[in-house]
């Protein structure tokens, strides 16, 4: 059996594979944005597909990890002042007992739940 390497054919295959990978990456980013929690929209706006990767977080949303993986119960203490205060608080407090937050896994669910993919690929 003879084998002949066809560079044009290989280039075409590589090009098609790159298109499929980019399509899948765009789908993952779209699903992650749809499932991303929003208060200000900063976190959602950082979900960016680039070739075969989806980026999230960065300087605009360095807290991306907490909604993704959740947090354990913890205490919040003032850093520079003697007390904590926010607009709806009745009075300043010296500490807040935070109950923790459940994980939302907006990125992991977008990556691992590929049911949307079977609907669009043969």
Q: Where are the domains of the chain?
A: 7-70+102-120
pLDDT band per the 50, 70, 90 thresholds, residue 5: confident
Report the alpha-carbon distance of residue 92 to residue 96 in Å, rounded.
10
Phi, psi at 93, each rounded to 5°:
-130, 155
* Rounded distance between C-alpha atoms, residue 35 and residue 112, angstroms: 13
pLDDT digits (tens, 9 = 90+) for 66-117: 999 999 999 999 999 999 999 999 999 999 999 999 999 999 999 888 665 6
pTM of the predicted model, to two decimals? 0.75
Nearest to residue 45, comparing CAs of 68, 105, 36, 53?
36
Q: What does pLDDT average to over the chain?
A: 89
* C-beta atoms surrounding 54 within 10 Å: 22
| 4 has a pLDDT exceeding 80 | no
Distance between CA atoms of residues 68 and 58, nearest Å: 14
pLDDT at 122 over 60: no
Higher pLDDT, 5 or 64: 64
């Amino acid at each position: 059996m003879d084998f002949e390497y066809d560079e044009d054919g290989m280039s075409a295959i590589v090009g098609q594979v790159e298109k499929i990978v980019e399509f899948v990456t765009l789908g993952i980013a779209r699903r992650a944005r749809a499932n991303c929690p929003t208060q200000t929209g900063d976190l959602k706006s950082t979900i960016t597909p680039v070739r075969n990767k989806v980026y999230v977080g960065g300087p605009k949303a360095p807290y991306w990890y907490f909604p993704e993986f959740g947090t354990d119960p913890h205490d919040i203490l003032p850093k520079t002042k003697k007390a904590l205060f926010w607009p709806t608080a009745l009075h300043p407090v010296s500490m807040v007992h935070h109950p923790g937050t459940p994980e939302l896994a907006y990125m992991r669910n977008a990556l691992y739940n590929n049911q949307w993919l079977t609907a669009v690929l043969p």
